[in-house]
Structure 1
Amino acid sequence: MEILAFGVQADEKPLIEKAFSGLHDVRCLDVFLTEVTARIAAGHEIVSTSVNADLGEGVLSTLAAGGTKLIAQRSTGFNNIDLDVAERLGLTVARVSYYSPYSVAEFAWTLAMAVNRRIVRASNRTRDFDFRLDGLMGRDLRGRTVGVLGTGKIGEAFTRIAHGFGMRLLGWDVAENPACLELGMRYVDKERLLAESDLVSLHVPLLPATRHLLDAAALRTMRDDAILVNSSRGGLVDTDALVAELRAGRFTGVGLDVYEAEAGLFFVDRSLEVVDDDVLARLMTFPNVVVTSHQAYYTVDAVGQIIATTVQNVLDYTAGRRSENVLVPAAS
């Protein structure tokens, strides 16, 4: 059986091929799954997808009509999949329910430190042999307040690093994490967290209830000199509202590894094209904003775990087993 894997990065390809070696043939494509590319999957019972794949009704219908039975998504998030349609079409859907939380947590801190200490601006200057310090002043984090929205595995890992910096810890979640409480975290409502935090970091999944968790009103609640980091999902932040706040001169820095309209942009080279996303283009113009390309998870450790789990999901499917990774079970 040949498995068709969409949206495979160059670094991932040898890892995927090695992981499936001796088990199943796998064909890796660098194109993403869309309504246009879905036809390529005809005749493939198993398709593996990336987090930016379009798995709406149109794509799912094309896959089902072409004989696909299993969609093995190589990510934890599944907000890009219409699970109701998948179930109606008899498609089994599996994801990666867990991988290294440290990859994302450490990268979130990388963004926080980059904007706080003006690393990108400093690096660009020194490449031109400009060694002035004007405009590069940051702040000590020790003794300041960090607000963690979402204290699951990644949020906990982020909190442990914050504790190491000696910061005051505020948290917000539907359930309190005992490990965070042991570190001294105090759980408060979202409004208080935003109002008191010097640094706010997002670590919640994108669900209907969390879309635009940071809307215009929430962003206005934040301190004028706060730092905002989002390494979770772009849709958690109302980007238009964020641009408006930045235009008003607010926030010391913003670090974004995700963007709510990133599908079709992130993970591909658009450097020779005219990008018609005016909001993203405006974001890029602010000197206190750092945007990266959804790479927080992208470590050897995390990607290795993602691929290993994807292989196991395929083996479970072919053996008729069901695991916690299955979002939509096989049709009976």
Structure 2
Amino acid sequence: MKILFFGAKSYDIKSFDAYLDKEEYKDLDVVYIEPNLTPQTAMLAAGYEAVCAFVNMDLSAETIDILNTCKVKLILMRCAGFNNVDLERAKGYGMTVTRVPSYSPEAVAEHAMALALTANRHTHKAYIKVRENNYSLNGLMGVNFYKKTAGIVGTGKIGAAMARICHGFGMKVLGYDMYPNKDLDFVEYVDLDTLLSQSDLISLHCPLMEETHHMINIDTIQKMKDGVILVNTSRGGLIKTDDLIQGIRENKFFAVGLDVYEEENGSVYEDMSETILEHSTVARLLSFPNVMVTSHQAFFTEEALAAISEVTLDNAMSYLKGTPNGNEL
């Protein structure tokens, strides 16, 4: 089976090639290209049975239509999220869409805590100051996490890993989830309003769906404690950005750590350092001294990339053999 791999970075190629050398994947022929999958690039898939795409790509109905014209039958998402895929259109053409439901929950959770700690203790600012021989502590005041309350919104595998980290910090842990995790016996499950009003640190770990879109908005922000720390490593659409900015301006937040944001698809994983962003919400967020932003990198560890590569290729082999493995959408 010929697979066209869109948006290939050097680390993707290295990670996938390490598995493609194995005997069990000898029937897979992967071709890497640099462009992302969009309606403008989808025609490149002509002659391929499958495409491999990532969370930052455009798999709208328009793209799916073109892939169908190219006779593509399999879409391999090398990520957990699939809100960027028009599943109904793909199913209508008889296409199979697979994903990697879990690769390294700890990688994302550890980055979430790194964001919380960095934003809280202003480590990024301290690093720059000391490099300029400025050893003043002005602007670097933080707060203890010990004996504070952490609110985990979504306690699946990633949220559970974050909950364990917070518990290890000596924090009281509140959880909000439609399906409580019975393995987290130290977590007190509460309704969302209670979590928002009682938590000193709120970390989002839930999928982006119709009911979770903009779940953090001006109304829910007003229910939070003054001086709360908010972290999002899930999906940018969970937060209504304009409302978040209003809350920051009103000094509601002690700190905010974001690995995802609503307008990221056009710039994430790309070097935009020479580009003038005319209407950038991210630029507005970066103007605040208590906001820490990273580039959707929470997953980015050696272990996570290895798991993504192996599961994605296993998904391709399962399709090729006609034996579904449960990763189909």
Same topology, TM > 0.5: yes
Structure 1: 5+ residue stretches without partners: 328-332
Q: Deviations over 1:99-153 (max 9, x none)?
A: 1110001000000000111101101111111010111111111110000000111
> After the TM superposition, which residues 185-264 of structure 1 pair with which residues of structure 2 at under 5 Å, given as runs?
185-264=187-266
Give the aligned residue type for 1:145: T
> After the TM superposition, which residues 131-150 of structure 1 pair with which residues of structure 2 at under 5 Å, given as runs?
131-150=135-154
Give the aligned residue type for 1:159: A
What SS class does the counterpart of residue 71 from structure 1 fall into?
strand
Q: 1-side partners of 2:262 and 2:33: how far apart?
A: 24
TM-score, structure 1 as length reference: 0.96
Q: Return 16-25 or 201-210, whichever deviates more.
A: 16-25
Q: 1-side partners of 2:132 and 2:27: how far apart?
A: 52
What SS class does the counterpart of residue 263 from structure 1 fall into?
helix
> After the TM superposition, which residues 1-332 of structure 1 pair with which residues of structure 2 at under 5 Å, given as runs?
1-21=1-21, 22-180=26-184, 182-183=185-186, 185-327=187-329
Give the aligned residue type for 2:252: R
Q: 2-side partners of 1:47 and 1:203: how far apart?
A: 28
Q: 2-side partners of 1:19 and 1:277: how far apart?
A: 42
Give the aligned residue type for 2:5: A
Q: CA deviation at 1:91?
A: 1.0
Q: CA deviation at 1:23?
A: 3.6
Paired position in structure 2 for 1:330: none
Q: 2-side partners of 1:224 and 1:8: how far apart?
A: 43
What SS class does the counterpart of residue 11 from structure 2 fall into?
coil
Q: 2-side partners of 1:169 and 1:135: how far apart?
A: 28
Q: CA deviation at 1:179?
A: 1.6
Q: 2-side partners of 1:99 and 1:171: how far apart?
A: 22
Q: 2-side partners of 1:242 and 1:304: how far apart?
A: 35
Q: Deviations over 1:158-181 (max 9, x none)?
A: 01111111111111000111122x
Q: Is the contact between residue 99 and residue 306 of structure 1 (CA under 8 Å) also seen in structure 2? A: yes
Q: CA deviation at 1:20?
A: 2.1
Q: Which 4+ runs in 1 deviate beyond 3 A?
A: none
Q: CA deviation at 1:19?
A: 1.7
Q: 2-side partners of 1:69 and 1:276: how far apart?
A: 39
The number of aligned residues is 325
Q: CA deviation at 1:8?
A: 2.2
Q: Is the contact between residue 227 and residue 251 of structure 2 (CA under 8 Å) also seen in structure 1? A: no
* Alignment RMSD: 1.0
Give the aligned residue type for 2:95: L
Q: Deviations over 1:197-222 (max 9, x none)?
A: 10000000111111111111011111
Q: Is the contact between residue 4 and residue 46 of structure 1 (CA under 8 Å) also seen in structure 2? A: yes
Q: 1-side partners of 2:27 and 2:133: how far apart?
A: 54
Q: 2-side partners of 1:23 and 1:16: how far apart?
A: 14
Give the aligned residue type for 2:102: Y
Q: 2-side partners of 1:55 and 1:95: how far apart?
A: 13
Give the aligned residue type for 1:65: T
TM-score, structure 2 as length reference: 0.97
